[in-house]
Structures are given as structure tokens and as C-alpha cells.
Amino acid sequence: MKLTTKGRYAVTAMLDLALHYGEGPITLADIAQRQGISLSYLEQLFSRLRRQSLVASVRGPGGGYSLGKEAREIFIGEVISAVDENMDTTKCHGAHNCQNNERCLTHDLWSDLSNQIYTYLNNISLQDLMDRKAVREVADRQEHGDVDASLLDQVGTPAGV
């Protein structure tokens, strides 16, 4: 599997979107600010998420993104796949040919592991995450502009705002 910040950011951003459902379209600038992710990087990720219909977009002032379907119907595995390509851990990517065009000794092990991970992540929806107490707590912290010095340092403070 490949689990990098790309996949992590995508899930975080989608969760942010889910948490602000009902407030109309959410701008990437908002998400970038709240979650501490680079705006341009988010644009890249959302380009992929949109192609998979995981999000819907509205352009122009007042525009932004919203979930492409209900939070209950969006699974973490989908989100990661959308941006990270594959969660496969085999070397042959399922082709059974990584050693001289034949199956290597450990193919089945990696294949089983992939299924394990795949099943796990595809049984957790954004709604499931939203229902978790720990997630609610972090979301509240982010909501209340509970901003400390380190945040200001990192994100950059627009003078006078």
C-alpha cells in the first residue's frame, strides 16, 4: 500500500467537508486554513476527488465544494483510492508475475494483506468518523478559532485580520 500525506490530506479534507455540511459550499481556502494544508496542493487533490464524483463544485463567489453523496455513503477507501491510485501491497499488482513471469513465494501474503486493508477502510464511512467523540472534539477546537501562536506562525497571519 501507499499511505502518504496525499491520502491523509484527502481524508482529512473530506471529513472537514462533511463536518460543515449544511453551510453551503465550502471553499478550499477555508479547508486549507482549518486543516493546515497547502491550498494549491488541495486543488490537486480535489481535482481527483471531483473526477470520482466524491465532491461537487460550484464556481464563482459564494462557491466551493460539497460532498458528492451523503457522508454515510462515502468510504475512506474510496477517498484514498481516488488520490493515491492503489492500496495494493503486491509487487506484481495482482498479475502473479513478479518473479520471472511466475508467482513469487509471497504473493498470496501481500494479496491477503491488501484485502484486509481494503476491507477495513471500505467499511468506515465519513459519517462513522463524524460520530466519533475524538473527531468532534478536534472539530470543535478548529471551529472556535482556538488559535495559538504556533498556528499563526505556520499559516501566516494576514495583517490586521
CB of 15 to DNA, least distance (A): 16
Q: Which is nearer to ligand FES, 6 or 103 (CB)?
A: 103
Query: Of the ranges 21-29, 43-51, 54-62, 128-136, which one interacts with a second copy (CB under 8 A)?
Result: 128-136
Count of residues interacting with DNA (CB under 7 A) = 28
Q: How far apart (Å, rounded) are the C-alpha atoms in residues 94 and 98?
A: 9
Q: How far apart (Å, rounded) are the C-alpha atoms in residues 76 and 123?
A: 8
Whether residue 57 contacts residue 31, with contact meaning beta carbons closer than 8 Å, is answered with no
**Residues between 100 and 119 with contacts to a second copy, criterion CB under 8 A:** 100-110, 113, 116-117
Going from the C-alpha of 90 to that of each of 12, 22, 53, 86, 127, the distances in angstroms are 26, 41, 28, 10, 30
Is residue 151 a contact residue for a second copy (CB under 8 A)?
A: yes
Query: Of the ranges 56-64, 103-111, 114-122, 125-133, which one interacts with ligand FES (CB under 6 A)?
Result: 103-111
Is residue 92 a contact residue for ligand FES (CB under 6 A)?
A: yes
- β-strands 64-67, 55-58: how paired? antiparallel
Whether residue 84 contacts residue 4, with contact meaning beta carbons closer than 8 Å, is answered with yes
**Residue 96, binding choice from a second copy, ligand FES, DNA, none, Cβ under 5 to 8 Å by partner class:** ligand FES
- Residue indicated by cell numbers 476527488: 49
Q: Which residues bind DNA (CB under 7 A)?
A: 2, 4-6, 25-29, 38-41, 43-44, 46-47, 50-51, 57-65
